[in-house]
Each structure stands twice: as structure tokens, then as C-alpha cells.
Structure 1
Amino acid sequence: MKDKREPSSIWLEKLIPKDWKTSARIQILLYAIFGIAFYLLLMKHVLPEQYDVKVGSISPATIVSPVTKADEFATEEAKKQAANAVETQYTKNDTLTSKQIDRIDHFFADVRKIVTAADLNEEDKVAKIKAILKEAIPGNFTEHFYVNLARTSPEKLTDIRLKTRGIVYDILQEGVRPQELSEKRDSVDRVLVTSLLDNDALDSRSRSIVRELAKQSIIPNEMVDEEKTEQLREAARDAVKTIPINKGQIIVSAGEVVTKDQYRKLEELGLLRKNTHLLPYLGLAVLTGFLLVMLFFYVRRFHSNVYTDNKNLILLFSILLLTLSGMKLLAFGQNLEWNTIGYLAPVGLGAMLITLLLDIELALGCVVLLSISSSVFYNADHQLLFDFRYGIVSLVNGAASAFALAGVRKRSAILRAGLIASTASVIPIVSMYFMVPADGTSQALLQSVIFGVLSGIFSAVLTIGTLPYFETVFGILSPLRLLELSNPNHPLLRKLLIEAPGTYHHSIIVGNLAEAAAEAIGADGLLARVGAYYHDVGKTKRPQFFIENQLYRENPHDKISPNLSKTIIISHTRDGVELLRQHRIPKPIQDIASQHHGTTLLKYFYYKALKQQKDGAQVLEENYRYPGPKAQFKEAAIRSLSRPTPSRIENLVRKIIRDRLEDGQFNECDLTLKELDLISKSICETLQGIFHSRIEYPEEPETIKGVKHG
């Protein structure tokens, strides 16, 4: 059969894959296109031709510093010298001292038992002393030491112990560093000589024992305190004041031979031209690529809705390019008369649109990118690539715009956000003038303030004008769009009110329940509420078949078969989606309408069919289930739980949640048990005092309990 489609449509299908929204190749292509456009926009604003000098060459001109900048190299060298002058710090461990003294006491207690043992000869005593000494005080002892100990009387052992522990305690108390161990052990000899001169009562054999045992008992107990040392060195580094290269400072005079230090300073200030004129552009390419990589990883790590959906990525890049193009146009107007027009940069436009259409955190991240771009666009002096003045004002302007629009509920808030951004922009402008008043005149300050005030208002006006187009082209369901859809005068809601007033009343109550439940778990409460308003619009096709619209009328289901009743009831989800599509209601609300019943069982008609089944007839449970799909996201799942009941609110709400959980209706969304508990509490609280007539689902007939049907 011949394909009757337009050739252009066939060509587009071949060019664009069906999975383009999630295709990694399309994602790479989008980043490449944005990167090229970003590079071209900035290209004319990179560094101009710089000075071509080398170490040892003659300077062709007097070169002065265009800015005040820290001399990083000189400052770092001074910090290193200050840090190296700090001595290594040690901390004495008194616990080791106590342990050594205890070991000496225990050792002598064991030796006393051995020496006084009548059943041991000298050889056995020496062997046992060696064994316990090996465990108590490891070291290299002479054989003579062991023999002397074995031959020592208990009375002398006491004198030897006291002398040994006294010497060891005194030396360890002073502190022994690892590198001082040999010196400290040698000091034992000096102590013994001194005690001999003082008519010590110990004999030569006892002093020999004390000498060996005390030396081996001396161990390092004063260790390097890395943390304390580093703290002192860090304090020394911090105490060193930054060595500046001052604005206007002559780096090298005309005709002067360029020294290595002067060359280094020129290099730090970015005043050198090396090798070729292409380097600044190559540098811009590297910078652009780096910013793109940072943006990529930021989006991938924190904004999965953009990373996994190329449609949202196109939206993001479209907003950024629109904002950058506006900044570029303003840059053309920067001249001697309007040299501060950069303060009018519409950074707030990008921040507001991204906040409203995507996410405030993403907007704040993109504001950084736009602020860097602003520093390049409006660098009128061309002394450096970035003019921080415009960058910082753009950062403040964009951040204020984003924060001011967080959680907005009406379009007039955009203008209010613009006014807040204007006020915020004036603060850094005035503060920078006060900090460096010599950089401008009062007239320049007034001009800068006027541009700063206009920037927020300008961005707000542009946002109001472009927002509807982005919402329409990309099918975005922004908070402002949701509020418009919640207007009771919307054609579909009016249709629901007129043709199915009971369903309309039910939807309003469910909307309040859904919003409270969504906010309890951190989901989108506004989406849950508006989705609930529209979830049952399909009932307008046959309103009389739904109990809330019957009032005191006869129930038509009493006169038709359960199978036909089931077909009518189930069709309201499909009819609702068709109506929503006809009125171009955004897809998330269509999804709520199609998913709010999931694949749940129509128990009333299923049990009615079971009661009416004839011999041999089979009633299949799956024939009495909604076709689905199950809830795919939290707001749809919350809507499926928000069912007001006339009595036993808490028990029945929890029963509905438990039944749906056991029926697998939440298997395809990311609701947790904790969130389900929060939802149930929120619904119960909201339902206090609210009663709504619903079908009372009958219990499963006794005759068929425990039997699987179908």
C-alpha cells in the first residue's frame, strides 16, 4: 500500500528517531549545538591583542597593572616560609608512662615469686625470669642480668624495683621523643652515677640490674601531634598578609629589560600574548567546553527530569540562548556614553523562565553561567576577560528573580519578582561604588543605578511576554498554567458543573484532599488538586449512571446487567482523556484522569455478577477491572486514594490504601510506606466534617470467599 503521508513527514521520521526524547545521541547533539552558539555569542568579547615580551627582552611600552590583584606567587612563597618556621609539635602520652611503671611493678612481683621458690634451682629461675621479662619488658638483656636477678634476695629486689621505677618515671615524665630514645636511655647512666655520689645504698650488682632494666623500660611517649602542628602552621600561613599587585602599579617601564619576576607578574595579570593570536579564542573554547561539562554533570546529578527528557533540555537551551541573545544585543549599545548598560542585562529573564517552567535549583545553577557570560559581554576595558562588576550584579539579579518566584500562585507575581530583582541589583552597584569611588563619578553611579532598577522590570516584562509561548510550544504545565486551569470558568469545569453537579462537588472535595496529601509528602500539591478537578470529566458523557449525580432519582444500574454497568463505569476514564485532549489540557492532567483508578476491581458489580451468575457461567475478575494504567507518579497515586467516605473515616481510608497496596496499584510509582501513612493522616484530617455519598462496596459473599474467580 502506498504511503500517503507528506514526503517531508517521512523524511523527518527518518532523521529524528522515535525515542528522541531519551536518545543519548540527540542529547549530545543538543549540547554541541548550544555550545557552538554559546561560543559564537562570546567570541567577539575575548581578550584583545596583548603584549609580546619575553624574559630578557626590551619592553616596548610602559606596562601597568589594570587591576589590583593578589600576587599569588609572592604571597604563597611568604606563606611557605612562615609555615616552615613553625617547629614540629609533640604531645606526651601519660598513659604510656603509667603502663611502663605497672609493667615494672608486675615484673618484680613475678620475680619475687621465682626467687623465693624453694623447689627451683638457679638455672630454672633464670629460665622463668627470661620468659616473664620477654612478655613484660621486651629488650636485649645480657645473660649476666638474668643471673644477677636470680641470685638477688627479696629485700634487695624491693630496693631495685623502687630505684628502677623512680628513674623510669622521672625520664618518661620529662617526655621521650622517638629521635631522643638513645639519648634518654644513656641518661640512666648519669642518674646512677649521681646516686652513687650521693651514697646510694645499692651495691654494684643491684645498680647493674637497675641500669639494664631502666634503659629497656624507657620508650618514646611523646609523639608528633600532626593536627596541632598543622594548626600552628596554618595560623602562620593565615597571618601572612596578601602581597598585592596594585592597580596602576608599573610592572615594567618602556625600554627596560624584562626580568623573570616582571614576566611572571605580566603573566598573572593576563597581559602577555603568547605564540599566536588564536590562543584567546582557544581559551574561550576551553572555557565554553568546561562550562558545558559542568552544566552537563550538574543536570545529570541534580535534575533527572531534564537529563532524561531531551524535550526539557531543548526548553532549557532555548531559554538560555534567548537570554544570552538579549545580553548580546545590549552589549552592542555599550559605548563611552552608556558604558554601564551591562547592568541592564536581562539575566532575570532566564532565571524567571527556568524557575517557572523547570525548577528553581536549576535556575540558580544557570544564573551562574549567565553571570559569567555577563562578565565577558560587558568587559568594556578589555584588560581582562571578565569584568566582575557585571557578573556579581547579574548573579544577584538572577538569584533574586528565582527566589522571588518560588511557589508563585499568580502571574502578577512575575512583576513583583522583577521589582525585587531591581532592588537587589542596586545594592551591589552602590556598594562597589562606595568601595572604589575613584572608579567613577556620581553621574556614572546614577546611570548604573537606573540601569540596575530597569533590569528587573525589563526581565519581568520579557518573561510575561514569552512565558505563554514556551508553555504552548513545549506543553509545560507551570504553576501559573495550573492556576489558570483551576479557574471555575474554564469550559470543561463549567461543563462538569452544569451536566454533573454531584461529580463537580466530589472533584472539588477530592482536589482539597489530594492537595493536602501531596504537600504532606513533598509532592506537587497544586498539580494534585487541579488534576483532581478534571479527573472525572468523563462522567459528563453519562452523568446519570454515577451515584453522586442521581440525588433522589432512581438508580439506572438496578435495571441493567452488571456487565453493562461495568462497561459504562469503566468508560469514564477513557471518555475523560478524550475530552481533555479535545480541550488541549496538558498531558500530566490527562495522565491523572487515565491513572486514577489504576487497574482496581469494581467490587460492587463484580460481586453482583457473582450473585447473578448462572450454572456453568464464569465471571472473570479481570473483566471487572479498570484497564489502567496504574499510577505512574505520586500525584496520580494520591488522587487514587482521595475518596471521601461518610463514616468510619480513618478505618475506611486506611482500608482503601491497604487494598490498593495489596492489589499492586502502587507498584509503578515511587510512593513509600511512610508517605502512604502521611497521606492517610492528611486525608483523614481534611475529611473531618465532610461526608460524601458513595457506593457502599459490599463484602465478598460468604459462599465465594476464599475461591479465586476467573
Structure 2
Amino acid sequence: MKGNGKQSVEKTSVTRIQRGLEDRAGWWDALLDRPVLWAVIAIIGCTWLMLPKAGIGPPDWQPGDVASFDLVIPYDSTLPDEAATETARQEARAAVIPVYDLEPRLRIELENELRILFAACRDRMGTTGDEVADLAAITDLRATESVMRILDSSSCSDRLEEVLVEVVDGVFRDRIVDDRRGLEHRGEKGIALRDLSTGRERTVRLDELSEAVDLRSGLEQVLQARLLEQPAVARRWIAPVVDFLEANLGPNLVFSRGETTQRQRAAAEGVVPRSRGLRRGQVLIRRGDTVTDEVADTLRVFREQRRDIASTARVAGIALLVGLMLAGWWPVLLWFGGPLEAKRRLSMIYILVLLFTLSVRLGWFIANAVAFNAQGQAMSTAEAYLWGLPFAAGPVTVLVLLGMQPALLFAVCGAGVAGVLLGGDFSVAVYALASGVVGTLAAERSEDRISLSRVGLLVGAANVVVLLILELYLELPDPPGTVGLSAIFAFVGGPISVGVVSFLLPALESAFGITTDTRLLELSNQNLPLLKRLSLEAPGTYQHSLSVSNLVEAGADAVGANALLLRVCAYYHDVGKLVKPEYFVENQRNGNPHDALLPSMSALVIQSHVKEGLELAREAKLPLPIRQAIATHHGTKLIRYFFNKAQERSGEEKSAVRESDYRYQGPRPHTKELGILLLADAVEAAARTLDNPTPTKVQAMISKIFSNALEDDQLDECELTFSELDKVASAFLWVLTNMYHHRIDYPGFDFNRRQEARDSGPHKVGEKAVQTGG
């Protein structure tokens, strides 16, 4: 019978959990158990938010428009100066000296052709005139009939040959150019003379080329002058010989337009783009002034910069930075909790990092929007509003939810995020780190949201000090008005951070299923409506709850469980008795109403205080851990007194009494804290039945309660080990021994005398049973 009842209870445990608790949605729990998914979401979201596109866009004013407000540069900016860059490129191109190619082979080839001509001529002396004329075909020289007659009449003399070779050599050595005027124009700073035969290059000044001959206009005169100096050349021969040489000479100093252009292009490309700096606070244009081309161009560049898509390298760099930052949380959280707990906490951290990044981005956007539309230099500086961003909100939130060490690590991560997001500003990173660390340290001892508000004032004061230190150390060129406004916003940033924490905490507690110490301390206030009602309407239950709180706190300290959570759970675990307080022995004053009820009805009344406690907890919006404590503080234990009474009334039909009808509906406790509460509730109730609670009797009673719970499988699902159970039992014994310690008798008073009516009252046995069960 007993086994069947227990099996029935186990089969319906899931149903009881669903019926007894308003647990968070299953899909959300499943998502929180997937930290990799949240890591991917956080990396994508943070990378997009951290790309350099901060602030609100400048107005789209065109040249000729009238400025509708003072436009002040909100932050230090460096804009490309296209005009200056183009000027520098032109100067670089102009600085490139022209390249001229020197071709020595022309002289050598022409001299060889002349010698071949004269040699052939001497071989054919005495031939006919037609044959002499055909000598020109032997070479590539362009020779007229007059020249060939001169050769014939001179008998192709060696002297004439040497004169012509000498003239050609002299003219080539002085250099022949195709455009003397172009050389003088291009080579004002000299030329780069490149010898094509050797590949060598040297710079030549223009005065070194004073003898260079212009192929078009000066060559004829130079040749005539040189021939006139030669006695071997008759005067009548000069004109034909000049024509002959001029026809066969070409420029040996040639302007290399392609090479020069290539060098000019390379010089222009090597120019570093020029930029112009705009200092924050600088007035770009006053209200009512006409927009000039320069102002319109500046605004256009601002807009183009903001529309630029971030490079792949920058996106990858930011994503890698965020990924490494998030990956670093795993060993930290694993150190402070087990793998299962670390997974849930990782998801929480990743969500908080994303929310923190979003808040900084949103704050910076608003700061720029206000700055672009504000009047006055100080109010038009976005950095002045930047110092008011709630940098401490993230670390303080993590402190309340997870503790000191994760909060300090979050402050470091938040500083890095803020620094990168706001343009890699070192001062912003230092400021955000200091604000987060001060907020974390100051909020560590806050016990409620009122004391948390005082933390905001301390953070604000620290913000102002850090801001002034940065202004002095970095020698920031801010005018006094801007510094004063920045200090005001820095101070306001402290209360704003605390306000954000206070606003978000309830939602975060609900979303993550976490009951913070701050929330627990608030719930421990004995003047709260539910506890106040308990003290007035069910004073015996109230005192029982206080005694249980002492037991569970000692037990939790013994095994490292959450003592604060257990103490608050003990306060509320029996609030369901408010519905029918007189049916529970600790509140009975004038008889026992169970005497008039069937055992089955009495069992239903006793069982119902769990369900009714859950209803009251839901109405009071008590957090999930407290509701779990209410639902599990009896587990699926048997209400033995009424079960035995029902069997007695059934006579020989004891099998008709189902054990499952006399068991609590559960579920059984599934954590250390809930297991300790179940044991403490039973121990405190049983302790009150001891006539003479000596340490030996108390120890025996505790051992029996613990043994019964183990035999009844009530602790199978919780995390308590046998070693921890021994520590909890020792802690309970210490508390109860001190609670029921012996006192000396007061002379003239007999406190042990009892009224006979009470000793023989019909409800006494039932009282002990109900007390033990409830």
C-alpha cells in the first residue's frame, strides 16, 4: 500500500510541478542553456554597434543656403583636404625633372655609313657616272646627285672623308635635339640624362647643354660653320654637303615623354593625402550666415565618412576582439560555479554585454543629436554629454546578479567596449573603467535599492574626479564652459547608472530566474504586508517560521548553501496557513477543529496550505525560489496522524484507505537549500513536542527526522550528501540546544504546573501529530 502510494506520487510529480509553480517558459530556459548561440548573437550585435559610425549626421546644406543654427564641431575630426592634396600632387609632378634619352649609336652608325660610302667610291674610281651614282644604294644614306658628283670630282679623297666624319662627330657630341625650345622650357631645373647604351642616368643642368643643336632650326647653320673651317671642302661644295648631312642626321637627345609621365604619376601617387583638423567646439558656421563652398564640402565629407561601409579587415578585427573577450568569461564563470551553472551565467553575461554596448551606442547617438542642435559652444560639444553615459550600470548589474569578481571583469570588458566604440579614445576607456570599478566596490554592501541610490552619488563624485584628472593629465584643450558642463554630466552619470540598474533589475531577475540578494533583503522586511498578516493572524506560524529561519541559516552556513535565500524562504514557507490558521496547532487557542472533521477532510485542509501559499505568493509577486520553497517544504511526505486515524476508523477495511490521499502533493526538494528547509521545518515542529528538550533528546529527535526523510525518499532529488547531512544535523542541534537551554528557577513561581484540562484535552495527541506533520 505504501509503495503504491509513493509510486503514484512519483508518476504525477511533473504534473504537480506544472500545477504548483509558474515556472518560466520552457523555450526561454532552453535558450538560456545555449551560450554558444548567445555568443554568436553578441559578437554580431556588438561588432555592428562598435563600427565607427557614431553620432547623428550633419545637415545637408548646399552652397548659398542660410544656416538655421550655429553648427559646432562636436568632436575632434580629421577630414581629407582634397584641394591641398591636389596641390601637393601638382607640386610633386612639377618637381620631377624631364627624362631625355641619349642614343650614341646614331653617331657610330652614321660614321660607319660614311666610311663604307667612301671605300666603295674609291674601289670604283674610273667607272661611269651612272655607276658612281649607284654607290649611294650600297648604304642607307640619302645622297643627292650633287653629292655623288662631289665625291667623283674629289676622287673620294681620304681628307674629305675625315672632314665629314669629324663634323658628324662634333655635332653629335654637342647633342642634337628635335626641339631646343622645349628643352629649355622643360629643363629649367635640369634634365635626367639617360644613356641608352650603358643604362646609366645622371642629372644635367641646362647650361651644360648650351651647345645642343636644334634639328629643325639650328643644324644647317652649325654644319655650314663647321665646313667653312675645313680647307678640304670647296666653297661650292658646302651647300650640297650641308643638305646631305642634314638629311642623314637625326636627334640623339630625345625627350622621353612616356618615362617622364610615369615618373610624374608615381610622384603624385606617393603624395600623402593632406587632411585638415577640426577641433571640437569649433564653430563651423554661425546661424544666419550663408553656406560657402568650403562649409558645404566639409559637411559633404562628414556625410560620406558616415556612409562608408566599414572595411572587411576592420569588421574582422572588431569581431575577433569581441569573440576573445566573450571567450574569456568561460573559465571565470566555471571557476565560480559548476558547468551547468556556468552555461546559464555565460548566456546572461553575453546578453548583458550586448545590452551594455547598445546603451553606450544609443547614448552616444543621443549626445551627438543634442550637440548638433544645441546653442552655444559648450552645449554643442558631444563629449560633454558623453561623460554622463551610464558606464557603471553594467558592472553594478553584474555585481547584483553574479557577484564581485564577475562584476570587476565586466568593468574591464565594458571599458574596452566603450573605448573602441567611441573611436579608440583612451580617456573614455579609463573613465569607463574607473566608473565601473567604483560603482562595483560601492554597491557591494548595498542591502536595498535605497542604499543603492546613495551609491549613485558616490559614483558621480568619482566620475568628476576622474574627469578632472584626465583633463589635466592629457591637457585636453577644452574651454572652461565645456569642462564645467562635462563635470555636471559626469556627476549626473552616477545616479543615471543606478537608475538604469534599478529599472532593469526586476526584468533581469525575472528573465534569468535569479533572485538577487538585494531583492531577498527587501523581502526579509517583517513589515511587508504578507509577513505582517502572518504575525497578526497566525502568530504561532509566524514564530515557527522565525525559528525555522534560524535553523536553515545555520544549516546553510554549515554546507556552503545560500543562507540569505534560505532565511527568506523560511519566513514565507507557511504563508498558506493564513487562509485557515485555526486548523494548525501552533495557532489554536480554543479547541481543535479537526476533532469535528473526518481524517480525509483534515488531510485536505493540511495539504491545502501549500497550494494556498502558492496563490498568496503569486499575488504578492514573490520570486520563483520562494515559490519553490513553499511548494517543496513538505515534499511528498505522509500526513501520518490522519492516515493512521483513517485506518483506525476503517476497521478491517484498512486497504480502502489510499496512502496517496494523505501525502502532500510535492514536488520533492531538488536543491540543497530546499532540502535543508524540508528538514528544518520538520525538526522545529517536532522539537516543540519535547517535554524536556535535553541535548540527548534533541539529537535523537533530529536523527529520527533525518532517517525518516531518507527512508521516505524525500531527499533523493536534492544535492545533499551524507557528509553534508551530518553537518546540517550538527548545526540544527547547536541552534536548538541554545534555544532550549536550561534556566534557573524563579523563587515563588512554578512554570511547570499545567492545567489538568489541557493535560487531558482530546486535542493534545492530535496537536503533536499535526504539529509534526505541519
TM over 0.5: yes
Partner of 2:120: none
1:584 aligns with one of 612, 618, 621: 621
Alpha-carbon distance in structure 1 between the residues aligned to 2:434 and 2:533: 47
Post-superposition Cα deviations, 1:515-553, rounded to whole Å, max 9, x if no partner, equal 3433443333332222222211222232222110113x3
Q: Does 1:567 find its partner at 2:628?
A: no
Q: CA RMSD in A?
A: 4.6
8 Å contact 2:435–2:459 — kept in the other structure? yes
Q: What TM-score does the superposition give when structure 2 sets the normalisation length?
A: 0.51
CA distance in 2, matches of 1:436, 1:320: 26
Q: 1:654 to 1:405 in 2, by over 3 A?
A: farther
Pair 1:462 & 2:507 matched? no
1:360–1:406 CA contact under 8 A, matched in 2:
yes
* Alignment match, 1:44: 52
Structure 1 residues 539 and 407: alpha-carbon distance in aligned structure 2, compared to 1, 3 A threshold: same
From 312, 319, 322, the equivalent of 1:291 is: 322
After TM superposition, list the pairs within 5 Å mapping 1:614-625 onto structure 2.
614-618=651-655, 621-625=659-663
> Which one of 626, 630, 634 corresponds to residue 597 of structure 1?
634
Q: Provide the rounded CA distance (Å) in 2 between the counterparts of 1:396 and 1:298.
A: 21
Please say if residues 507 and 534 of structure 1, whose CA atoms lie closer than 8 Å, have aligned partners that are also in contact: yes
Partner of 1:71: none
Cα separation, 2, equivalents of 1:25 and 1:554: 53
Question: How many angstroms does 1:283 deviate by?
Answer: 2.0
Q: Which residue of 2 aligns with 1:417?
A: 455
2:222 aligns with: none
CA distance in 2, matches of 1:412, 1:606: 50
Residue of structure 2 equivalent to 1:375: 419
Structure 2 match to 1:676: 725
Identity %: 30
Structure 1 stretches lacking a partner, 5+ long: 1-15, 52-58, 62-254, 259-276, 380-385, 701-710
1:660 aligns with 2:709: yes
1:557 is aligned to 2:565: no
Does the CA-based 8 Å contact 1:306-1:313 persist in structure 2? no
* Gap change, CA 1:476 and 1:520, over 3 Å in 2: same
In the alignment, the residues of structure 1 paired with residue 535 and residue 33 of structure 2 have an alpha-carbon distance, to the nearest angstrom, of 48
| Matching of residues 501-580 of structure 1 within 5 Å | 501-551=539-589, 553-580=590-617
Q: 1:69-109 CA deviation, whole Å, 9 max, x = no partner?
A: xxxxxxxxxxxxxxxxxxxxxxxxxxxxxxxxxxxxxxxxx
Aligned pair count? 465
Shift of 1:494: 3.7
**What letter matches 1:347 in structure 2?**
F
Q: Residues 526 and 675 of structure 1: is their aligned pair in 2 closer, same or farther, counting only changes over 3 Å?
A: same
How is 1:185-200 mapped onto 2 (pairs within 5 angstroms)? none
TM-aligned CA deviation for residue 689 of structure 1: 5.1
Does structure 2 conserve the Cα–Cα contact (< 8 Å) formed by 1:20 and 1:26?
A: no
The secondary structure found in structure 2 opposite 1:687 is helix
Aligned match for 1:365, one of 409, 416, 431:
409
Matches within 5 A, 1:71-90: none
- SS class of match (2:604): helix
Q: For residues 150-549 of structure 1, what are the structure 2 equivalents within 5 Å?
A: 280=311, 282-288=313-319, 290-292=321-323, 294-295=325-326, 298=329, 301-302=333-334, 304-305=340-341, 307-308=343-344, 316=352, 317-318=354-355, 321-322=358-359, 324-330=361-367, 337=378, 338=381, 339=383, 341-379=385-423, 386-426=424-464, 428-429=466-467, 432=470, 435-437=473-475, 450-468=488-506, 470=508, 477-549=515-587
Q: Which amino acid aligns with 2:556?
A: A
Q: Deviations over 1:225-282 (max 9, x none)?
A: xxxxxxxxxxxxxxxxxxxxxxxxxxxxxx8999xxxxxxxxxxxxxxxxxx866454
Q: 1:343 to 1:287 in 2, by over 3 A?
A: same
User: Following TM superposition, by how much is the alpha carbon of 1:327 offset from its aligned partner in structure 2, in angstroms?
Assistant: 4.6
Alignment check: 8 A CA contact 2:675 2:715 kept:
yes
Does the Cα contact within 8 Å between 2:33 and 2:347 map onto a contact in 1? no
- C-alpha distance in 1 between matches for 2:623 and 2:402: 15
Q: Are residues 464 and 60 of structure 1, via their aligned partners in 2, closer, same or farther at CA, if it must alter by over 3 Å?
A: farther
For the residue of structure 2 that corresponds to 1:22, the secondary structure is helix
Secondary structure at the aligned position of 1:44 is classed as coil
2:345, 2:493 → 1: CA distance?
A: 32
- Taking the aligned partners of 1:418 and 1:283, their CA distance within structure 2 comes to 36
Q: Take 1:563 and 1:395, find their aligned partners in 2: how far apart are those partners?
A: 64
| CA–CA distance in structure 1, aligned partners of residues 541 and 506 of structure 2 | 31
> 1 CA distance for matches of 2:498 and 2:28?
33
Q: Which runs of 5+ in 2 are unaligned?
A: 1-23, 55-75, 81-87, 91-266, 271-307, 742-763
Cα distance in structure 2, aligned partners of 1:324 and 1:299: 26
By how many angstroms is 1:609 displaced?
A: 4.5
Q: 1:315 to 1:576 in 2, by over 3 A?
A: farther
Q: Residues 424-467 of structure 1: CA distance to partner in whole angstroms, max 9, x if unpaired?
A: 44555455556555877888776665554333233123333454
Question: Amino acid of the residue matched to residue 672 of structure 1?
Answer: T
Distance in 2 separating the partners of 1:533 and 1:496: 9
CA deviation string 1:14-57 (max 9, x = no partner): xx995342148976665555444433332235899999xxxxxx
Q: 1:525 to 1:29 in 2, by over 3 A?
A: same
Letter of the 1:548 partner, please give it: E
Q: Following the alignment from structure 1 to structure 2, what is the Cα–Cα distance between the partners of residues 320 and 363?
A: 16
Letter in 2 for 1:376: V
* CA apart distance, 1:369: 3.0
Residue by residue over 1:301-347, the C-alpha shift from the partner in whole angstroms, topping out at 9 and shown as x without a partner, is 54755734899579635465345423543365679844454433311
C-alpha separation between the residues in 2 aligned to 1:684 and 1:345?
Answer: 53
Q: Is the 8 A contact 2:32 2:347 kept in 1?
A: no
